């Protein structure tokens, strides 16, 4: 009996000695609400790869997709409490945490993609990105979420008047609420993960989102019309809890920021193809894609835009600065 015990003790000591020579690994949990084949998820997987490479394996990202750890709002709240390291949400979902993000919910804010990226990557975009830091949320980068378009279960929409009386799901965003009302429909905030059932049960008659999210959420199984009115271009945001960030060494902060920036570049490369593929897939499944004249939509929201700018001067000022950006 004594001999095996000695061996066990020795083995344990050796194992311990082995451990002391190993570097510890900092694991970052990153949770979000999208599907694993979504270009935004693929970009976050790339973020993890880059971070592991830069840190020589001393930092690792564990990804949790599909709202496994909660809705966007719940994940943001977990970051604030320090219970989760990172998340990725739509800017719209941040409106309640940092009002600056409301500016991106304004319809037809960007003239085109070049204008949008010059604004997001320039001083005004970076200021908004860091505006939630006092609320324990540090923005690391923007991801492309394309343009948002209406989709409906069974109403063919070609002009704003066709939206009259429809119940449209929105994100938790007061700007989206005002926009949908200005277009003549009723707005109902619902978490993204609960929307499939809400459409199925007739709680809402439609929603709005970019093509990859419309496709990968399988909402197209229930909604037969997708209307390319391109009312907003609300970017996604990669966030880290300041409870975690503030404990990093300057070197770790650099690695994380660089990996995020590289993932943002990769994500924008993936976006165009993913959008085309999503539109082709839903069309094949029988969805009618309608390309309406955008002018009547733009006209219908003009007064609402002016009201927001007057009532909320900080948002008005940000919108003006964005307008002045020249790519
Ligand atoms: C986009 C965005 C998601 C968001 C979703 C929504 O797809 O990328 O982060 O959850 O819109 O409408 O809720």
Residue-wise pLDDT tens digits, 139-152: 999 999 999 999 99
Residues 171 and 311 in one domain: yes
Give the number of the atom of ligand 1 that is nearest the alpha carbon of residue 169: 12
| Pocket mutation for ligand 1, best pick of 187, 209, 217, 219 (most atoms within 8 Å of C-beta) | 209
Average pLDDT rounded to a whole number, residues 4-13: 46
Model confidence over 300-326: pLDDT tens digits? Answer: 999 999 999 999 999 999 999 999 999
CA 111–ligand 1 middle distance (angstroms): 22
> Is there a single domain that holds both residue 161 and residue 283?
yes
Quote the pLDDT of residue 271: 98
Instruction: State the CATH number of the domain containing residue 198.
Output: 3.40.190.170
- Model confidence over 194-228: pLDDT tens digits? 999 999 999 999 999 999 999 999 999 999 999 99
Q: What tokens appear for 199 in the block?
A: 């459409």
CA-proximal residue: ligand 1, atom 13 (nearest): 192
Distances (CA, A) of 316 to 60, 163, 182, 227: 40, 27, 18, 28
How far, in Å, is the centroid of ligand 1 from the Cα of 242? 23
Higher pLDDT, residue 280 or 2: 280
The pLDDT value given to residue 21: 46
| CB of 238 sitting under 6 A from ligand 1 | no
90-136 confidence digits (pLDDT tens): 999 999 999 999 999 999 999 999 999 999 999 999 999 999 999 99
Q: Which pLDDT score, from 0 to 100, does residue 15 have?
A: 42
Domain span including residue 261: 2-145+235-273
96-106, pLDDT tens digit by residue? 999 999 999 99
Average pLDDT over residues 7-31: 62
pLDDT-derived band at 32, boundaries 50, 70, 90: very high
119 with 36, same domain: the answer is yes
Same domain? For 161 and 201 the reply is: yes
Q: How many domains does the chain have?
A: 2
Task: Please check whether residues 32 and 132 belong to one and the same domain.
Answer: yes
Res. 20: pLDDT tops 50: no
CB 210 within 8 A of CB 190: no
Q: Which atom of ligand 1 is nearest to the CA of 89?
A: 9
174-182 helix and 295-311 helix, angle to the nearest 10 degrees = 130
User: Does 8 have pLDDT greater than 60?
Assistant: no
pLDDT for 2: 47
pLDDT tens digits along 230-284? 999 999 999 999 999 999 999 999 999 999 999 999 999 999 999 999 999 999 9
Tell whether the model's pLDDT for residue 14 goes beyond 60.
no
Statement to judge: residues 215 and 317 lie in one domain: yes
Q: Is 33 touching ligand 1 by the criterion CB < 6 Å?
A: yes
In this structure, what token pair is assigned to residue 311? 């009532």
Task: Say whether both 318 and 294 belong to one domain.
Answer: yes
Residues 264 and 155 grouped into a single domain: no
128 in Cβ contact with 119 (< 8 Å): no
**In angstroms, what is the span from residue 213 Cα to ligand 1's centroid?**
7
Which ligand 1 atom is nearest residue 192's CA? 13
Average pLDDT estimate for 56-73: 98
Phi-psi region of 167 (alpha: psi -120 to 50; beta: other; left: phi over 0): beta
Q: Is 145 in the pocket of ligand 1 (CB under 6 A)?
A: yes
Beta carbon of 209 within 6 Å of any ligand 1 atom: yes
User: Is the CB of residue 90 below 6 angstroms from any atom belonging to ligand 1?
Assistant: yes
pLDDT of residue 23: 75
Average pLDDT across the chain, whole number: 94
172 and 107 in a common domain? no
- The response to whether residue 232 sits with its C-beta less than 6 Å from ligand 1 reads no
Q: Are residues 162 and 301 in the same domain?
A: yes
For ligand 1, atom 3: residue with the closest CA: 90
Contact 107, 178 (CB under 8 A): no
Residue with tokens 């949790």: 64
């Amino acid at each position: 009996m004594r001999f095996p015990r000695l061996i066990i003790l020795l083995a344990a000591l050796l194992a311990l000695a082995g451990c002391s020579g190993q570097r510890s690994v900092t694991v970052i949990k990153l949770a979000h609400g999208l599907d694993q084949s979504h270009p935004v998820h693929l970009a976050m997987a790339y973020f993890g790869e880059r971070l592991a490479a830069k840190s020589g394996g001393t930092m690792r990202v564990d990804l949790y997709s599909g709202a496994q750890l909660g809705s966007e709002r719940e994940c943001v709240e977990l970051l604030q409490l320090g219970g989760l390291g990172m998340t990725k949400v739509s800017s719209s979902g941040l409106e309640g945490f940092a009002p600056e993000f409301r500016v991106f919910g304004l319809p037809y804010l960007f003239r085109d993609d070049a204008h949008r990226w010059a604004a997001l990557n320039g001083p005004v975009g970076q200021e908004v990105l860091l505006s939630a830091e006092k609320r324990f949320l540090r923005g690391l980068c923007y991801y492309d979420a394309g343009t948002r378009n209406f989709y409906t279960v069974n109403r063919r929409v070609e002009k704003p008047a066709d939206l009259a009386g429809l119940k449209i799901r929105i994100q938790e965003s007061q700007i989206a609420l005002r926009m949908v009302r200005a277009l003549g429909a009723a707005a109902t905030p619902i978490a993204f993960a609960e929307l499939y059932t809400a459409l199925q049960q007739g709680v809402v008659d439609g929603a709005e989102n970019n093509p990859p999210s419309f496709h990968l959420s399988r909402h197209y199984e229930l909604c037969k019309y997708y209307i390319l009115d391109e009312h907003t271009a609300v970017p996604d945001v990669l966030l880290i809890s300041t409870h975690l960030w503030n404990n990093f060494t300057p070197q770790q902060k650099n690695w994380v920021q660089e990996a995020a920036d590289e993932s943002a570049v990769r994500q924008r490369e993936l976006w165009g193809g993913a959008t085309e593929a999503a539109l082709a897939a839903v069309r094949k499944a029988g969805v009618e894609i309608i390309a309406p004249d955008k002018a009547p939509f733009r006209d219908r929201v003009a007064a609402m835009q002016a009201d927001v700018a007057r009532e909320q001067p900080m948002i008005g000022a940000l919108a003006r600065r964005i307008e002045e950006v020249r790519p």
